[in-house]
Amino acid sequence: MKTYLRHTDGSVEDNEGRILFFSMDRFVSDICEGDCCFMCGASPSPKEKEFNEEHIIPKWVLRKLDIYKLSITLPNGAKIRYDQYTVPCCKECNSFLGSEVENDIRAAVNGGLDSVNAYILENGPWKIFLWLSLIFFKTHLKDSYLRKHLDKRKGDESISSDYDWGLLHHIHCMIRAIQTGISISNECLGTTFVLPAKTADHLDTYDYRDVYAANTILLRIDDIAFLAVLDDSCAAMNLFSEHFNRLTGPLSPIQLREVLSHLTLLNYKLKYRPSYHTKLDASTGDLFIAAELPESIELEEHTRDELGEILYANISEYVDKMPSPDINFTKENILNGRYHFLFDENEKFMSNSMDLIEMNTN
């Protein structure tokens, strides 16, 4: 039988002092609002371990797409270079993530879409799901280090000041399981899609977008798009399957943002939600992460406008830039849910989305 130390705050350590489970309080004080290593919880002051920084978007992605020096625009409007977009991590955990997570994904992605699909066939979707969870987690942990307002007169709170850290606590438990070896029950796997992305000279090779309150994420690298819902136990995948089967070609950047919007609405509107808990298996003495699933997958009532509003928020940056001869392509029509990018009026996939239009100048 293994022995664990349970602290009064509810955190659990093994007999070597490794934290197996962060209580919600400790997670918030040490990781979200503190500056401890986000994986093992080691403190930088007093320094318990060597520290370096973990890139939020993995270094190999930045190198592959040559976007190292490009900047990301933060929610506060400031720009930060990708090579400086990092969160605190100890050296040991940083190299652990490199060898145990990034190496496999890099090898799969470098072989293109077919190679990622072959990887999933052989190994299942878990590592890709946890890798997306990790990127989502780092992105929002970073928000706690960034000012909400660049103008100091408006206050000095962080972007994360109104976050409900409870949303990230489950995701943190999941990504740490890679390191602690705690098993995760299969029902904890969320919706995970790998879709073909359209590539062309006039389209960017990279896109990242997530919706914090819905735990949804889109990451596009060249011809591969990854989408996930991190806390739905595959409910959105079930509800989206009819649409999914009609995606018959590579998706343009705006179409992928529309898929993200559908998944976001579906996860928002789940009538009954799964819940997740770290438990102790009394027979083996092992900790594991379990899901309690609702008896049925049902959606709350929702309107076309609600999808329209989510869609517009996800694509507004494209709307002004995209030339279209279609007079119905307006902000108003998108907002009220009357304009979409995935399927035409006959419900057929639009294969020419974002293709260059031949302008007749005569």
Considering the complex, state which of residue 96 and residue 329 has its C-beta at the smaller distance from Zn ion.
96
Residue of the chain from 12, 39, 228, 354 that contacts Zn ion (CB under 5 A): 39
Question: Is 286 exposed, middle or buried, given 0-12, 13-18 or 19+ CB atoms closer than 10 A?
Answer: middle
- Minimum distance from CB of 93 to Zn ion (Å)? 3
Residue 181 gets the label, from left (phi > 0), alpha (psi -120 to 50) or beta, of left
Q: What is the CA angle 126-129-133, rounded to 5?
A: 135
Binding region for Zn ion (CB under 5 A) out of 87-95, 108-116, 244-252, 347-355: 87-95
- Alpha carbon separation from 166 to 22, 176, 306, 356 (Å, rounded): 12, 16, 25, 44
- Minimum distance from CB of 49 to Zn ion (Å)? 6
Quote the CA–CA distance of 90 and 50 in Å, as a whole number: 6
- Alpha carbon separation from 254 to 200, 209, 340, 361 (Å, rounded): 14, 11, 10, 27
128 binds Zn ion (CB under 5 A): no
- Minimum distance from CB of 134 to Zn ion (Å)? 14
Phi, psi (deg, nearest 5) at residue 130: -70, -30
- Minimum distance from CB of 283 to Zn ion (Å)? 31
Considering the complex, state which of residue 86 and residue 233 has its C-beta at the smaller distance from Zn ion.
86
93 binds Zn ion (CB under 5 A): yes
Considering the complex, state which of residue 32 and residue 90 has its C-beta at the smaller distance from Zn ion.
90
Residue of the chain from 37, 174, 311, 354 that contacts Zn ion (CB under 5 A): 37
62 and 83 in contact (C-beta within 8 Å)?
Answer: yes
- Minimum distance from CB of 92 to Zn ion (Å)? 6
Considering the complex, state which of residue 22 and residue 226 has its C-beta at the smaller distance from Zn ion.
22
Considering the complex, state which of residue 89 and residue 113 has its C-beta at the smaller distance from Zn ion.
89
- Minimum distance from CB of 89 to Zn ion (Å)? 6
Considering the complex, state which of residue 32 and residue 40 has its C-beta at the smaller distance from Zn ion.
40
Quote the CA–CA distance of 123 and 251 in Å, as a whole number: 25
Quote the CA–CA distance of 334 and 311 in Å, as a whole number: 7
Considering the complex, state which of residue 89 and residue 259 has its C-beta at the smaller distance from Zn ion.
89
229 and 191 in contact (C-beta within 8 Å)?
Answer: yes
Binding region for Zn ion (CB under 5 A) out of 14-22, 91-99, 131-139, 255-263: 91-99
Residue of the chain from 12, 20, 36, 40 that contacts Zn ion (CB under 5 A): 40
Helices (H), the chain: 24-26, 59-65, 91-97, 103-110, 113-123, 126-142, 166-180, 235-244, 253-268, 304-319, 331-335
197 binds Zn ion (CB under 5 A): no
Q: Is the dihedral of CA 264, 167, 45, 3 positive or negative?
A: negative
Considering the complex, state which of residue 54 and residue 231 has its C-beta at the smaller distance from Zn ion.
54
Considering the complex, state which of residue 179 and residue 336 has its C-beta at the smaller distance from Zn ion.
179
Pairing of strands 86-90, 51-55: antiparallel
- Minimum distance from CB of 351 to Zn ion (Å)? 46
- Minimum distance from CB of 209 to Zn ion (Å)? 28
Pairing of strands 192-196, 183-184: unpaired
Q: Which of residues 41-70 bind Zn ion (CB under 5 A)?
A: 42
Binding site for Zn ion (CB under 5 A): 37, 39-40, 42, 90, 93
